[in-house]
Amino acid sequence: MRDNKISVERKKYLKKVTRNKIIIFITQILLLVTFIAAWEICANANIIDSFITSKPSRILDTFMNLSQNGLLEHIGVTCFETIIGFLSGTILGIIVAIILWWSNFLSKVAEPFLVVLNSLPKVALGPVIIIWVGAGMPAIIVMALSISLIVTILEILNGFLNTDKEKIKMAKTFGANKFQILTKIVIPANISTFINSLKVNIGLSLVGVISGEFLVSKAGLGYLIVYGGQVFKLDLVMASVIILGIVAAVMYKSVVLLEKLITKTHIIN
Amino acid sequence: MSNKHEILKIENIRKIYQAKNDELEALKSINLKVNEGEFVSIIGPSGCGKSTLLSIIAGLEEKTSGKIYIDNEEIVGVSRKIGYMLQKDSLLEWRSIYQNIMIGLEIQGIKNKENEKYVKDLLKKYNIYDFRNKYPSQLSGGMRQRVALIRTLAIRPQILLLDEAFSALDYQTRMLVIKDVYRILKNENKTVLMVTHDISEAISMSDRVVVLSNRPSVIKKIYDINFDMESRDPMNCRENPKFSKYYENLWKELDINA
Ligand SMILES: Nc1ncnc2c1ncn2[C@@H]1O[C@H](COP(=O)(O)OP(=O)(O)OP(=O)(O)O)[C@@H](O)[C@H]1O
Ligand SMILES: [Mg+2]
């Protein structure tokens, strides 16, 4: 860095790294193009039944049509439900984790319940949730929340309890009270725990929302998928799944971006 | 010397740890008086309760019985007159050096103009000022320990407790840091109670060395260290002929213990 002149070996090495990157990228694109082309050709040549597999050109058509028929609204509904479920699950999880960290007694009491709830497939609660909060958007959001909540609590509590004891002791030597230990040591020391939990939760919330939409909804990508399946419009199902994939990727990337932002301002390595 | 002010008095300190299936008597009865500005070291066999004693004085650990006085006033819990420096520097990597040093003042709610100026002066005096906006990971081990010391001094304690504060450093760095810390502590006229397992470290820095017995521990012997030197420091006193004499005595004392 100090030297402006880069050695020949360094140049060679850097060149090799960039070349590798380019080769990997090209291979990925080729793979995707080949797959889509093979799909289209096989469907056209009747090697596969496009009634049950659909085909890329028709998916594209559906895509275009849907853009006029309120696809954006469906995407919007799913995103909205996911973000609300994600935020409430994460915030509630953090609050509960803080309470359990604060009180050793409560955390001991809660432990077996958390373990059981954690291994229970949350989708099984679907019908109960619908009866309790009614069939509609609230049920879907509660579903998303219930899927991410317990994992968040366990993950964050675990991070809190594993905070460097020496750092806590250091704060205590200055007479820190429990609240100060929480805000000055435990929370800042667990920024990476929070981010990891965000990463996991965004995916889980999406799972919760889609399963909720399968059960009750009148809108959203999950609804489109179920509806398309019921009327055997595989083009619609495929298009929705692809969009869902894109939505999931965008949400995940936003968390990663947030992570970069936070690590930049918080910890300099 | 004789009319020095007695700043710290430890009276009949006893500590019994309770565990699920047993109890363990770490300290039987410890009595000690320390004068203002004095440097006292505590050595003793491994596991005899040295850290326990410091933690009790610092108010981090409950004592089973006994009393602690500072300036003839009994203290209970964490006292603001005491600073405690641990083996690990425990600098917070998400805070800059300056913010790390300010944490004690923040916790005690005394982060005011006057104290900030005091800290800035300390930083300048001990060559940390230029690093104040750096982060802990950018500093060497010796430098980090110096920052930890300044962090402890920032709350202006009258008495400093050091628990193996240098043992995590490599030999070369340790020698330099010890000399450095000694200079700073003498300069600031602090009273120091230091635990170490290194006999020469104890002799080179202290006015008195306290030897603890095996567990349950009592004070076995107290050695006065006096080199009669004009400007004594932890380096030059090692060449004094008395040094090896002290070393031999202390080493034997510990050996008999084992
Ligand atoms: N929280 C605790 N609960 C039960 N026993 C403890 C606890 N802390 C320390 N002990 C025991 O008390 C004794 C004294 O411990 P302490 O750490 O004070 O010794 P030490 O002299 O500092 O040892 P070292 O030379 O290893 O630093 C040890 O036998 C230790 O196992
Ligand atoms: Mg110890």
Residue A197 belongs to domain with CATH number: 1.10.3720.10
- Token pair listed for B52: 């326990």
Environment class of residue B82 by beta-carbon count within 10 Å: exposed (0-12), middle (13-18) or buried (19+)?
buried
For residues A33 and A73, state if they share a domain: no
pLDDT digit string, tens, across residues B97-125:
999 999 999 999 999 999 999 999 999 98
A218 and A100 in a common domain: yes
The two structure tokens encoding residue B87: 């083996």
Q: Which two tokens stand for residue B125?
A: 């005096």
Alpha-carbon distance B244 to nearest alpha carbon in chain A (angstroms):
36
**Residue A147 shares a structural domain with residue A29:** no
Domain identity same for A209 and A146: yes
Per-residue pLDDT at A72: 83
A10, A28, A48 — which closes off a domain?
A48
**Whether residue A153 has pLDDT greater than 90:** yes
Specify whether A43 is located in the same domain as A61.
no
Nearest CA in chain B to A264: B94
Give the residue numbers spanning the domain of A158. 57-268
Q: Which of A165, A166, A172, A173 to mutate to test the interface with B (most CBs of B within 10 A)?
A: A173
Per-residue three-class SS string for A162-222: CCCHHHHHHHHHCCCCHHHHHHHHHHHHCHHHHHHHHHHHHHHHHHHHHHHHHHHCCCCHH
- All domains in chain B, ordered by first residue: 1-81+160-166+196-258 (3.40.50.300), 82-156 (no CATH)
Chain B contacts in chain A segment 150-189 (CB below 8 A) = 164, 166-167, 169-176, 180, 184-185, 188-189
Cα gap A230→A240, rounded to integer Å: 14
Q: How far is the CA of A185 from the centre of ligand 2 (A)?
A: 23
Helix (H) or strand (E) segment spanning residue B42: strand B39-43
CB under 8 Å to B151, separation ≥6 — which residues?
Answer: B91, B100, B101, B103, B104
Same domain assignment for residues A64 and A41:
no
The pLDDT of residue B256: 66
Q: Which pLDDT belongs to residue A3?
A: 54
Domain count, chain A: 2
- pTM equals 0.85
Please, which contacts does B180-184 make with residues 24 or more away whose CB atoms are closer than 8 Å?
A: B180/B142, B180/B146, B181/B145, B181/B146, B181/B149, B182/B233, B182/B234, B183/B233, B184/B126, B184/B149, B184/B153
Strand partners, B17: B24
Interface contact A17, partner B, CB < 8 A: no
CA distance B72 to B56: 17
Q: Closest partner residue to A170 among B86, B108, B138, by Cβ?
A: B86
- Which of A170, A267, A268 is the closest to B90 by Cβ? A170
Among partner residues A166, A185, A189, which is closest to B88 by beta-carbon distance? Answer: A166
Structure confidence by residue, pLDDT tens digits, A101-131: 999 999 999 999 999 999 988 888 888 888 8
